[in-house]
A and B are shown apart, each in its own frame.
Chain A
C-alpha cells in the first residue's frame, strides 16, 4: 500500500462518511422495496386485485 500517512484522518474520514451515507441509502431503499412487496402480497392474499387485473379475467 502507498504510504498515506499524510492527512490520513481526512482520507479515512471521507471514505467512512461515504460508506455510512451510501450504505444507509442502500439499506433504506432495499428495505422499503421489501416492505412494499410484502404489503402487496398480504393484500393480494386477502383476495384483493387491482381493477385492471380483474378486467383482464
Chain B
C-alpha cells in the first residue's frame, strides 16, 4: 500500500447500498432531492389545509373539531415513525458501525421530539371540547409523553459527549431500550381502558370514516411525511458538515501546535 493511500474507501469502491450510504456520496445525491421534496411538501400541506377547512364536513360525533385530527394524526404517526427510524439507524450503528447510521439517528431525534410535542398539544386542544379535559393520565397519552421525554433525553445525550462516535454507540443502546415504548403506545388503547379511541383508519375491516374525511387526512399525512423526509435530509447533511468542520478544526489546532513547537 502506498504511503498516501486512503484508509477510507471511496464511493466507487463500494456496492450500491454502501455507496448511497457513504457520507460523501450522500451529500452529492441528496442535494438533488431537496428542491423536489420542498415543492411536494408545500403543495401537499397547502392542499391538505385547504381540504381541511373548505372541503371537509363536520364529523357527526366530533363536529368541527375533526379538523384538528388533520394535524394531530399525521404528527402522532410521525412521532412513532421518527423513533422507528432511530431504532433502524441504531441497529446499523451497533452492527455495522456505519457513520451515516449515527448521523441519521442524531438528525431524527429533534424532528421526532417536535412531532411528538405537536401531537400532544393538538391532542390536548382536541380533548378539551370533546372529552371535557385537556389531559388524562391514560395509557396512550402517558406513553406518548414518556416518548417525548425519551427524545429530549437522547438529544441531551448527543450534546453531552465530545466523541460523537462513542456517543453514537451508547445512544444506540439507549434508543433500542426505549423502543419498548412503541408497542406500548400502539396497543395501549387495546390493553387498558382509555379515553383515547382505538385505531380508526388502518383496521382489518377498513376505515371507520367517510372518504370526505379520509382524503384531507391522507393528504396531510403525506404532506407531513414528506416534510419529515426533507428535514431529515437537511439535518443529516448539516451533521455530516459539522463532523467535517470538527475534523478540520482538530487538524488546524494540530498544525498550529506543530508550528509553535
* Contact of B122 with A14 in the complex, beta carbons under 8 Å: yes
* Contact of B64 with A22 in the complex, beta carbons under 8 Å: no
Contact string against B for A residues 1-42, beta-carbon threshold 8 Å, 1 for contact and 0 otherwise: 110101110110111011001101110111011001101100
A-B contacts counted at CB < 8 A amount to: 116
* Contact of A1 with B58 in the complex, beta carbons under 8 Å: no
Which residues on B sit within 8 Å (CB–CB) of A39? 241, 245
Which chain B residue lies CB-closest to A48? B248
| Chain B: interface size category | 35 or more
* Contact of B129 with A7 in the complex, beta carbons under 8 Å: yes
How far, in whole Å, are A14 and B121 apart by their CA atoms in the complex?
A: 7
Please tell me if B150 contacts chain A, counting CB pairs below 8 Å. Answer: no
CB distance from A55 to the nearest CB of B (A): 4
* Contact of A6 with B227 in the complex, beta carbons under 8 Å: no
* Contact of B245 with A40 in the complex, beta carbons under 8 Å: yes
Contact string against A for B residues 118-156, beta-carbon threshold 8 Å, 1 for contact and 0 otherwise: 100110011011000000000000000000000000000
How far, in whole Å, are A54 and B237 apart by their CA atoms in the complex?
A: 22
CB distance from A5 to the nearest CB of B (A): 8
Which chain B residue lies CB-closest to A8? B64
Contact string against A for B residues 96-116, beta-carbon threshold 8 Å, 1 for contact and 0 otherwise: 000000000000001100100
Which residues on A sit within 8 Å (CB–CB) of B117? 21
Which chain B residue lies CB-closest to A35? B238
